[in-house]
Amino acid sequence: MTAEDDFERFAVAAWPRLHRSAYLLTGDHHLAEDLAQTALARTYASWRRVRRSDALAYARRVLVNANIDRLRRRRSHEVPGGAVDATLVSRAQPGAGADELAGDRDELMRLLAGLTDRERRVVVLRHYFDLSEAEVARELKIAPGTVKSTLSRALRKLRVADGSDVEDDHFVKGDLR
């Protein structure tokens, strides 16, 4: 098997998760596709150095860094767009109907859209990727205390926006998948 074949199998398997992650980070379907493609292209460029057991983690870090780069460029060049596109591709929950899933995705994207970019990144990494606070801090190159305070502030905003208690909050339970 060649390195290209190995990467192609990885890319096919990783695409759905990277795309969903990018959508959760950006709230924009087309931008999510661009970020996921960028992550795969940069991962391919380094494929010979990427440990296969950590390939998804490597691609995820590339995705997050590409999004941070995009945000830095946007601050000086772009004007934020309109409404959030709510076509999040999500794993179906057993027994859930299509209307219920669409409503959940719409609500999720509405709630995430109310967060700052940093808050959104912390929530997605912590609860969607199920990373520890220390791992999120390393990934985003911020202090663990910053992760804790940012996550606390973000979850408070989400609870207020959702009108639910801490125990009922699906974000606290890590149910973003």
pLDDT reported for residue 147: 94
Assign 3-class secondary structure to 137-176.
HHHHCCCHHHHHHHHHHHHHHHHHHHCCCCCCCCCCCCCC
Q: How far is CA 58 from CA 40, 44, 163, in A?
A: 10, 11, 36
Helix orientation angle between 29-45 and 3-26, rounded to the nearest 10 degrees: 150
CATH topology of domain 1-83: Rna Polymerase Sigma Factor; Chain: A (1.10.1740)
The CATH number of 98-177 is 1.10.10.10
Radius of gyration of the chain (CA): 17
Domain boundaries, the chain: 1-83, 98-177
Helix (H) or strand (E) holding 53: none
Supply the pLDDT for residue 98: 65
pLDDT value at residue 168? 43
Asked if 40 and 14 touch (Cβ cutoff 8 Å), the reply is yes
Q: Return d(Cα 59, Cα 130) in angstroms, integer.
A: 16
* The predicted structure's pLDDT at residue 164: 61
Averaged over successive runs of 10 residues, the pLDDT of the chain (177 residues) comes to: 89 95 91 94 92 90 90 59 36 54 75 90 88 90 94 89 55 48
- pLDDT at residue 160, as a whole number: 85
CA distance 38 to 103: 29
